[in-house]
């Protein structure tokens, strides 16, 4: 989806200190950028930053990084996390994720409402396709976890199969998150909109241990 630029976004994108324009330069040294040795959690497709900013506020002992490929949205996210000392936003693409981080730097990965790529011929583009899952294993090195949410039934069923086939351990699987007893859920902008229309939200946790 093409996003219309607002008058302030170019300046925000160029000057906001929370945006990392050259993430390759920090590979293996992200903790130096944060100024501490706290664990790093990564959100792929952070959107406007609601989820990551609220997570950062609630977890000051965790460092958070969001990846967003659209510059205008990355600028919006950076503005929305401006009060958070433990958040950076990467303007980049998940395809290059292994260029951004050293193996073992990331401990948790959030994938929230990614593009479902609904046509069968597009399945290799889904962020839970096995090629990506192998990349995430490399990212985690010895162990790590993925928290995944979607409103798309086909994508969720596909993801269950891919995780299982790729050796991940699944837990906290929910077929209707907002009607479950799960506590501590932080909603994205997209989640609030579509759950408000009555769409069920699917969620799972996947853990990798070498």
The C-alpha torsion from 53 through 56 and 57 to 60, rounded to 10°, is -160
SS3 2: coil
Distance of alpha carbon 151 from alpha carbon 136, whole angstroms: 22
Residue 129: phi and psi, rounded to 5, are -65, 150
Residue 93 a catalytic site member: no
CA 88 to chain centre: 12
Distance of alpha carbon 201 from alpha carbon 195, whole angstroms: 7
DSSP state, residue 65: E
Nearest to 101 by CA among 148, 163, 50, 39: 39
CA 4 to chain centre: 23
Nearest to 65 by CA among 57, 53, 75, 73: 53
Catalytic choice (115, 135, 142, 151): 115
* Residues involved in catalysis: 115
């Amino acid at each position: 989806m093409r996003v219309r630029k607002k008058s302030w976004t170019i300046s925000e994108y160029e000057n906001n200190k929370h945006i990392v324009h050259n993430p390759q330069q920090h590979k293996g040294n992200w903790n130096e950028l944060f100024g501490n040795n706290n664990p790093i959690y990564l959100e792929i497709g952070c959107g406007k930053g609601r989820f990551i900013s609220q997570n950062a506020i609630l977890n000051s002992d965790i460092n958070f990084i969001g990846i967003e490929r659209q510059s205008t949205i990355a600028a919006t996210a950076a503005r929305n996390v401006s009060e958070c000392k433990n958040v950076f936003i990467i303007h980049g693409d998940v395809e290059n994720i292994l260029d951004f981080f050293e193996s073992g730097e990331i401990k948790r990965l959030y994938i929230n409402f990614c593009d479902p790529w609904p046509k069968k011929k597009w399945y290799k583009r889904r962020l839970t396709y096995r090629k990506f899952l192998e990349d995430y294993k490399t990212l985690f090195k010895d162990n790590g976890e993925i928290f995944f949410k979607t409103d798309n039934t086909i994508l969720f069923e596909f993801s269950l199969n891919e995780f299982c086939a790729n050796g991940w351990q699944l837990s906290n699987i929910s077929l209707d998150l907002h009607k479950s007893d799960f506590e501590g859920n932080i909603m994205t902008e997209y989640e609030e909109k579509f759950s408000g229309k009555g769409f069920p939200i699917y969620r799972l946790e996947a853990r990798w241990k070498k």
